[in-house]
Structure formats: structure tokens, C-alpha cells
Amino acid sequence: EAQVTQNPRYLITVTGKKLTVTCSQNMNHEYMSWYRQDPGLGLRQIYYSMNVEVTDKGDVPEGYKVSRKEKRNFPLILESPSPNQTSLYFCASTLTGGVTEAFFGQGTRLTVV
Amino acid sequence: GQNIDQPTEMTATEGAIVQINCTYQTSGFNGLFWYQQHAGEAPTFLSYNVLDGLEEKGRFSSFLSRSKGYSYLLLKELQMKDSASYLCAVRDYPSYKLSFGAGTTVTVRA
């Protein structure tokens, strides 16, 4: 089954404790991205990757890091989480070339206290 | 970048029709997408338009006018399960970045 898998689904952590949210897709998609979703603000792109070893900042990259060592994986790293990073996070992947939809992971609800 | 506007909320009666408008501004255009999102869940793809005109998919239709920077999603024969947020998104070319509007919450009442 074609899917994007994120883990964990829920996470409560303390300020400053490094964490990683994993994302994996099995569709051989080149393009992957991370979004955060906050009430009234919609989905905002954090980082994206056009292919292996190619990553770039989205609209709200401060406080986040990513890596793309393999095509299928695109982890999101919070080196020193702060309470303003409490949000619902989504990973997405899509084919480039042609007009194709983005597939989303199940979401990760992160709370930083 | 993109500037995408859609209404915040809409309410309609079961069995009725609702039209959600979306306006956008973009430097490069590679398609307009509509997604449905139930609270706390992932967005799911509904439709896309890359050329002007109407695309129909069962009870859902989507329209695009590239010259006007305008799209709408039409939901017909509304059902209670259609209560959700509907997201308008525009893909940029050549970056392939998908930018979203804030979403329209549709409430279907009996």
C-alpha cells in the first residue's frame, strides 16, 4: 500500500530536549516536505527536499533541521524545542514532473512544555 | 510566493450545495489542488486543476480560471460526513512548493 509513515503520532517533551520525528514513504517520490499546522494559520512549509542530499528552507524553518540521506526518509529534527513549536506536524511526498497530488503522513502532535 | 485566500467558515444543510471560493496570486503556476481534512487527521486529496475549466468527480467539482487567479470547489448533495475543513493549495513552478490557504471549515446541519 502506497503510504507516508510518520512517527511518533503523539509526543510530549520538555523545552530544550532534542527530538526527531521520522518520515518514510514507499512510493519512490523525489519531493518531500514538512509542514506545521496551527489554528487559523493553515499548513505552513518548514523544509522541503527535491531529492537525495538536496534540501531547502520553506516559510518557517527557524528552530528545525532536516536531512535527506535516502530517497525514502526525511526526518525532522528539533535540536532545542521551545513551547512555540507546539503544533501538529505533517510530512508529505510527491512525484515531480507532471501535476500529481501530495500524499500526507498521519501527522505528529507535538507538545513542548 | 503565493497569497491564497478562502473563507474561514461556511454552513449548509444536508442535501444542499456549497461553493467554496479560493483566490490566489503566484509567480509560477503548476496546478491548484483541493484537499479535505477532518479535525486532527491528515489532508486527503480531492481534486486538482491545471487547465481552465471544470473538473467533476462524483459529488465534488472544481473550477479554475488561471487568468483571474480563481478557483472554487463545489460540494453537491451534502452529507453529514462532509463536515470538515477544505484546503485550497497552489503548486509553484519550478520549485514544486505546495502552498495552502488557511482552510474553510464547512459545517453540515441536518
Give per-residue pLDDT as tens, A35-46: 999 998 889 999
pLDDT band at A98 (very low <50, low <70, confident <90, very high): low
For residue A99, is pLDDT > 80? no
Cis, peptide link before residue A75, omega less than 30° from 0: no
Going by pLDDT thresholds of 50, 70 and 90, the confidence category of residue B2 is: low
pLDDT band (50, 70, 90) for residue A95: confident
| Residue B11 and residue B21 in contact, taking contact as beta carbons nearer than 8 Å | no
Provide the pLDDT confidence category of residue B69 given band limits of 50, 70 and 90: very high
B108 vs B85: CA distance, rounded Å: 11
What residues of B are in contact with residue A44 (Cβ under 8 Å)? Answer: 100
B-interface mutation test, from A31, A34, A99, A108, most B Cβ less than 10 A away: A99
**pLDDT higher than threshold 60 for residue B1:** no
Q: Write down the mean pLDDT value for chain A.
A: 95
The whole-number pLDDT of residue A13 equals 96
Cβ atoms < 10 Å from Cβ of B103: 27
Q: Select from A68, A3, A1 the least CA-distant residue to A33.
A: A68
CB–CB contact B43 A104 (8 Å) = yes
CA distance A32 to A94: 6
Closest CA relative to residue B20, chosen from B64, B74, B81, B78: B74
Q: Which residues of B touch A42 (CB under 8 A)?
A: 87, 100-103
Over residues A62-76, mean pLDDT: 97
Phi, psi of B101 (to 5 degrees): -75, 175
Q: How far apart are the first and last CA of chain A?
A: 36
The per-residue pLDDT for range B13-49, each reduced to its tens digit, is: 999 999 999 999 988 888 999 999 999 899 999 999 9
For chain A, percent of residues with pLDDT exceeding 90: 88
Instruction: Give the 3-state secondary structure percentages of chain B, helix then strand then coil, rounded to 5.
Output: 5, 55, 40
CB count within 10 Å of CB A51 equals 13
The percentage of residues in chain B with a pLDDT greater than 70, rounded to a whole number, is 98
| Contact (CB<8Å) B96/A50 | yes
